[in-house]
Chains A and B, each alone.
Chain A
Amino acid sequence: MEQKKNQVLMETRNLKKYFPVEKKIDGQQAEVKAVNDISMKIRHNEVYGLVGETGCGKSTFGRTLLRLMEPTEGRIFYKGEDITELPQGEFRKYRQKLQMIFQDPYTSLNPRKSAGKILEEVLAVQGMKNVRERMELSLEILGKVGLRPEHYYRYPHEFSGGQRQRIGIARALILNPEFIVCDEPVSALDVSIQSQIINLLLELKETEHLSYLFIAHDISVVRYISDRIGVMYLGYLFEESHTAGLFRSPLHPYTKALLAAVPTIDFDKGKKKRELIRGELPSPLFPPSGCVFHTRCPYAKDICKEQCPDMKEVEKGHRVMCHLYDEKEKTK
Chain B
Amino acid sequence: MSSKLLEVKNLAASFKTERGLMKAIDGISFYAQENEILGIVGESGCGKSVTCQSVLRLYDEKHLVKLEGEILFDGENLLKYSEKEMEHIRGGAISMVFQDALSALNPVMKIGDQIVEGILLHHKELSKAEAKERALNILEQVGIPAFRERFEQYPHELSGGMRQRIMIAIALVCGPRILIADEPTTALDVTIQAQIMNLIVRLKEEMGMSVILITHDLAVVAETCDRVVVMYLGQIVEEADVKELFLHPAHPYTRGMMMSIPSMSEEKPERLYVIQGTVPLLSQIPSGCRFAPRCEYATQRCREAMPELEELENGHKVRCFMAQR
B149 with A285: CB separation less than 8 A: yes
Q: Closest approach, in angstroms, between the C-beta of A323 and any C-beta of chain B?
A: 22
Which of A159, A244, A265, A277 contacts B222, CB < 8 Å?
A: A265
Q: Does A94 contact B (CB under 8 A)?
A: no
| In the complex, A140 has a CB within 8 A of chain B | no
Instruction: Name which of B52-60, B84-92, B211-219, B297-305 contacts chain A.
Output: B211-219
The listed residue (B49, B157, B192) touching A53 by CB distance below 8 A is: B192
Question: In the complex the two chains form, is B222's CB within 8 Å of A263's CB?
Answer: yes
Q: Are A276 and B262 in contact (CB under 8 A)?
A: no
Q: A55-B159, A55-B162 are in contact. Are A261 and B99 (CB under 8 A)?
A: no
Query: B268 contacts the other chain (Cβ, under 8 Å)?
Result: yes
Interface membership of B108, Cβ < 8 A = no
User: Does A275 reach chain B (CB closer than 8 Å)?
Assistant: yes
Chain A residues with CB below 8 A from B223, complex form: 263-264, 271-272, 274
B-contact 0/1 string along A109-151, CB 8 Å cutoff: 0000000000000000000000000000000000000101010
Write 12 A-B pairs (CB below 8 A) sorted by A numbering.
Answer: A54-B162, A54-B189, A161-B99, A184-B187, A195-B262, A217-B187, A258-B189, A261-B191, A263-B222, A265-B219, A265-B261, A266-B222
The answer to whether A146 and B160 touch across the interface, beta carbons within 8 angstroms, is no
Q: How far is the CB of A32 from chain B (nearest CB, A)?
A: 9
State which residues 169-222 of B face A: CB under 8 Å.
183, 186-195, 197-198, 201, 216-220, 222
Nearest residue, chain B, Cβ from A19:
B157
Which of A37-45, A85-93, A220-228 has 4 or more CB atoms under 8 Å from chain B?
A220-228
Contact A190 B159 (CB under 8 A): no
Inter-chain CA distance A160–B279, complex, in Å, is 12
**Which A residues form the contact surface with B (CB < 8 A)?**
21, 23, 51-56, 59, 103-104, 106-107, 146, 148, 150, 158-163, 184, 187-196, 198-199, 202, 217-221, 223-224, 244, 247-248, 257-258, 261-267, 271-277, 280-283, 285-286
Q: Which residues of A contact B193 (CB under 8 A)?
A: 217, 261, 263
Contact status B198-A220, CB under 8 Å: no
The answer to whether B218 and A194 touch across the interface, beta carbons within 8 angstroms, is: no
Q: Tell whether, in the assembled complex, residue A54 and residue B192 are in contact, meaning their CB atoms are under 8 Å apart.
A: yes
A162 to B17, CA, bound (A): 20
Closest to A273 in B: B198
Q: Indicate whether B77 reaches chain A with its CB closer than 8 angstroms.
A: no
- Report Cα–Cα, A248/B189, bound state, in Å: 21
**Contacts A54-B187, A198-B272 given; does A282 touch B145 at CB 8 Å:** yes
- Say if the beta carbon of B102 comes within 8 Å of chain A: yes
B143 near A: Cβ within 8 Å?
Answer: yes
Kindly list chain B residues whose C-beta atoms are within 8 Å of the C-beta of A274: 194, 197-198, 223
Q: Are B103 and A106 in contact (CB under 8 A)?
A: yes
- State whether A202 touches B146 (Cβ < 8 A): no
Which residue, B159, B246, B247, has most C-beta atoms of chain A within 10 A?
Answer: B159
Are A106 and B100 also in contact (CB < 8 A) when A194-B216, A221-B262 are? yes
Contacts of B220-271 to chain A: CB distance below 8 A: 220, 222-223, 243, 246-247, 256-258, 260-264, 266, 268, 271
Chain A residue with Cβ nearest B272 = A195
Selected from A218, A223, A275, A286, the residue in CB contact (under 8 A) with B217 is A218
Contact in complex: A247, B266 (CB < 8 Å): yes
Contact partner of B216 (CB less than 8 A), chosen from A107, A191, A202, A261, is A191
- Is B3 positioned at the interface, with any CB of A under 8 Å from its CB? no
The interface bits of chain B over 267-287 (1 if a CB of A lies within 8 angstroms of the residue's CB, else 0) are 010011111001001000000
Verify B45–A277 contact, CB threshold 8 A. no
Return B58 CB to nearest CB of chain A, in Å: 14
Cβ–Cβ contact B190 & A193, under 8 A? no
The smallest beta-carbon distance between A25 and chain B, in angstroms, is 10
Whole-angstrom CA separation of A191 from B261 in the bound complex: 6
B69 on interface, CB distance cutoff 8 Å: no
B149 neighbours in A (Cβ, 8 Å): 23, 283, 285
- Decide if A264 touches B44 in the complex (CB within 8 Å): no
Contact A107 B281 (CB under 8 A): no
* Closest CB in chain B relative to A276 CB, distance in Å: 6
Nearest residue (CB) in A for B157 is A21
CB of B222 within 8 A of CB of A267, answer yes
How far, in angstroms, from A199 to B195 measured CA to CA in the complex?
Answer: 31
Chain B contacts of A184 at CB under 8 A? Answer: 187
| Closest partner residue, chain A, to B15 (CB atom) | A158
Residues in B73-131 with C-beta less than 8 Å from chain A: 99-100, 102-103
Report the Cα distance A105→B43, complex, angstroms: 16
Bound: A325/B286 CA distance, A = 61
Q: How far is the CB of B84 from chain A (nearest CB, A)?
A: 27
Given contacts A271-B223, A275-B194, contact A193 B100 (CB under 8 A): no
Q: Cβ of B262 and Cβ of A192 under 8 Å apart? A: no
Which of B198, B222, B266, B275 is A276 in contact with, Cβ under 8 Å? B198
CA distance A193 to B218 in the complex (A): 13
User: Quick one: which of A104, A160, A244, A261 contacts B194, CB cutoff 8 A?
Assistant: A261
Contacts of B103 in A (CB 8 A): 106-107
In the complex, per-residue mask of B143-162: 1 if CB is within 8 Å of any chain A CB, else 0? 10110010000000111111
Chain B neighbourhood of A104, CB < 8 A: 100, 102, 160, 187
A54 and B194 alpha carbons, distance in the complex (Å): 12
Contact B264 A146 (CB under 8 A): no
User: Are B102 and A55 closer than 8 Å at their CB atoms?
Assistant: no
Q: Apart from A23-B149, A263-B222, A275-B194, list 20 A-B contacts with CB within 8 A.
A: A54-B159, A54-B160, A150-B281, A162-B44, A163-B44, A184-B187, A191-B218, A195-B261, A195-B262, A220-B262, A257-B191, A264-B219, A265-B218, A265-B219, A265-B261, A267-B246, A273-B198, A273-B201, A276-B194, A283-B149
Q: How far is the CA of A55 from the CA of B102 in the complex (A)?
A: 15
B39 partner residues in chain A, CB cutoff 8 A: none
Given the complex, which residues of A lie within 8 Å of B271, measured CB to CB?
Answer: 199, 202
- The smallest beta-carbon distance between B186 and chain A, in angstroms, is 5
Across the two chains, which residue of chain B brings its CB closest to A282?
A: B145
CB within 8 Å for A219 and B161 given contacts A23-B149, A195-B274, A263-B219: no
